[in-house]
């Protein structure tokens, strides 16, 4: 007997998907622009001279000597320095005259801004699980657009930091919701390659070009936030997630959403199969006790504990390595524009190769791809660590610079993999909560990343060693805790009450295999009747 179809079987890749993809790309540009904003908005200008000294006197001065003279100007009359600066970008450092040691205030501002990222990560997933994907998405886009544009007109660093916290709060909202919506709208076959294409890699280049064209932190702020209004408008023409609607008991709305999607695609919807699927889903929902889920339920079984720990650590390690390199480009050397473009090109090439490999190589699953990126990052960080310990010539320093940029690009591929895996292993009732949790770990890494190179006070090798330890930890936990999920349907049910631990354990109705088939993937081991082994 042919098993009944599930919701994923009705999701199509057509014109509606194209509309969703365009909307998500605009969201990605804005998100990428806002998260990379302080690379340009907090860019440290180069001091080229002092007004009090002839150019031939200061010709050989290092930045450290200029800074010593700059900070000593009120103490020693013979070493005053009114700096002549060469800003690559008219940043807040330039406008508010935060040079040399005072740039630490801007680094602190960058970390404080991540508070909004952290807070937003903790509750936007819950909001989305209660009210759907569409309405919260539109609301966060509009609020992000308004506050982001207003932040371009403030007079000092404190006001700037406060408003940027709220920008981070709201852009985290549509960042969290967008990825879950992505996985619930696009068919299983197309998820990972689309995740490699529809992500920040090409947008690194776009954002760098936008920053170069703007040249000023105020104009740049308007540019990356005003496009949120366009994304909100497009989202109004996209459907609500059928996964969410059916899970919420809004069957009529789910049917209307699917009919609308098929009408946009110009495809014929088999009403009999749709009716059979809806009937099947309703029977399963009737057998499941009504229960409200929250963050603690991510730890209600040992298997979910493993998923949660692995995803949390993977996001944290990826984030801290990525943002440590992003927000400390002055320690890497080179132009901020060229470094950002180089990272974008690295990431784009890798993404396109990864997307093609995912489509053409059935054996290349999520775990194998994750291992490849981890091993590459470990190798390059080890080389950079050894080079730091033995000392390298200037020519080799350029090679190490590009190796570190490629490492940041490779590490970021894991964002795409882990975000897809996170949405594939966690069931629908806690999927947004799980992704929100992952964003909490990412925001923690993003807050710590800008400060990581401050550990150079204990040795220039220490930041590299910390990043290396993070990647090795990620590789280990992901390998042992995460199952292979490629080509498997999304898990829609939580584990039954008797399969849970401690306070989560409760008696629930027995669901036979005919009823649960195709709904909670056996490979996820979330069905009470599942006995199949996890793929290595």
Q: What is the DSSP letter of 45?
A: P
Q: 417-450: b or e for each residue (b if 16 or more CB lie within 10 Å)?
A: bbbbbbbbbbbbbbbbbbbbbbbbbbbbbbbbbb
- Least confident residue range of 81-90, 271-280, 338-347, 521-530: 521-530
Q: Where are the alpha helices (DSSP H) in 361-427?
A: 366-390, 394-425
CB of 170 closer than 8 Å to CB of 27:
no
Per-residue confidence band for 444, with pLDDT thresholds at 50, 70 and 90: confident
d(CA 108, CA 112): 6
Per-residue model confidence (pLDDT) at position 229: 96
Per-residue model confidence (pLDDT) at position 4: 66
CB of 177 closer than 8 Å to CB of 140:
yes
Per-residue model confidence (pLDDT) at position 526: 32
The encoded tokens of residue 17 equal: 């998907």
Nearest to 251 by CA among 239, 263, 243, 262: 243
Per-residue confidence band for 2, with pLDDT thresholds at 50, 70 and 90: low
pLDDT, tens digit, 9 for 90 and up, residues 63-113: 777 777 777 754 444 556 778 888 888 989 888 888 887 778 888 888 888
Nearest to 265 by CA among 368, 185, 336, 360: 185
d(CA 154, CA 157): 8
* pTM for the full predicted model: 0.69
Per-residue model confidence (pLDDT) at position 477: 92
Per-residue model confidence (pLDDT) at position 519: 35
Q: Which residue has the tokens 């088999």?
A: 270
Per-residue pLDDT averaged across 413-423, rounded? 82
pLDDT, tens digit, 9 for 90 and up, residues 184-204: 888 877 776 777 777 777 888
Position 382 pLDDT exceeds 80 = yes
86 three-state secondary structure: strand
């Amino acid at each position: 007997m042919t098993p009944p179809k599930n919701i994923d079987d009705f999701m199509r890749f057509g014109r509606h998907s194209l509309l969703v993809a365009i909307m998500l790309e605009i969201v990605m540009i804005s998100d990428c622009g806002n998260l990379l904003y302080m690379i340009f908005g907090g860019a440290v200008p180069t001091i080229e001279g002092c007004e009090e000294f002839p150019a031939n006197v200061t010709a050989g001065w290092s930045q450290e000597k200029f800074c010593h003279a700059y900070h000593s100007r009120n103490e020693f009359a013979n070493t005053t320095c009114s700096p002549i600066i060469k800003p690559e970008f008219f940043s807040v450092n330039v406008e508010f005259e935060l040079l040399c040691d005072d740039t630490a205030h801007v680094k602190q501002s960058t970390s404080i801004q991540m508070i909004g990222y952290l807070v937003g990560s903790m509750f936007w997933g819950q909001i989305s699980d209660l009210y759907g994907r569409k309405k919260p998405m539109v609301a966060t886009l509009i609020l992000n657009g308004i506050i982001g544009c207003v932040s371009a007109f403030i007079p000092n660093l404190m006001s700037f930091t406060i408003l940027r916290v709220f920008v981070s709060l709201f852009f985290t909202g549509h960042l969290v919701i967008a990825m879950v919506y992505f996985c619930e709208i696009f068919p299983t076959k197309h998820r990972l390659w689309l995740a490699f294409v529809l992500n920040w890699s090409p947008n690194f280049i776009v954002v760098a070009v936008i920053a170069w064209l703007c040249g000023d932190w105020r104009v740049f702020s308007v540019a990356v936030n005003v496009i949120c209004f366009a994304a909100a408008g497009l989202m109004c023409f996209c459907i609500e997630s059928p996964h969410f609607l059916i899970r919420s008991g809004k069957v009529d709305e789910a049917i209307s959403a699917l009919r609308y999607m098929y009408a946009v695609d110009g495809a014929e919807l088999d009403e009999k199969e749709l009716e059979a699927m809806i009937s099947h889903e309703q029977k399963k929902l009737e057998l499941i006790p009504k229960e409200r889920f929250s963050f603690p339920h991510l730890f209600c079984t040992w298997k979910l504990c493993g998923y949660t720990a692995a995803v949390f650590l993977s996001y944290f390690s990826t984030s801290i390595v990525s943002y440590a390199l992003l927000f400390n480009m002055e320690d890497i050397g080179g132009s901020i524009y060229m470094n950002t473009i180089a990272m974008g090109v690295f990431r784009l090439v890798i993404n396109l190769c990864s997307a093609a490999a995912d489509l053409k190589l059935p054996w290349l699953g999520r775990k194998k791809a994750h291992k490849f990126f981890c091993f590459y990052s470990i190798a390059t960080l080890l080389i950079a660590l050894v080079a730091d310990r033995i000392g390298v010539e200037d020519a080799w320093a350029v090679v190490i610079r590009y190796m570190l940029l490629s490492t940041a690009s490779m590490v970021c591929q894991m964002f795409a993999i882990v975000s897809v895996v996170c949405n594939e292993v966690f069931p629908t009732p806690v999927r947004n909560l799980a992704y929100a949790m992952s964003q909490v770990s990412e925001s923690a890494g993003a807050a710590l990343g800008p400060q990581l190179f401050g550990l150079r006070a204990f040795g220039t090798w220490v930041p590299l060693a910390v990043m290396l330890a993070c990647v090795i930890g990620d590789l280990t936990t992901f390998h042992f805790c995460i199952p292979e999920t490629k080509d498997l349907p999304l898990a829609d049910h939580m584990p039954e009450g008797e399969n849970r631990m401690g306070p989560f354990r409760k008696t629930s109705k027995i669901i036979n295999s005919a009823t649960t088939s195709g709904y909670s993937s056996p490979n996820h081991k979330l069905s009470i009747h599942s006995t199949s082994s996890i793929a290595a």
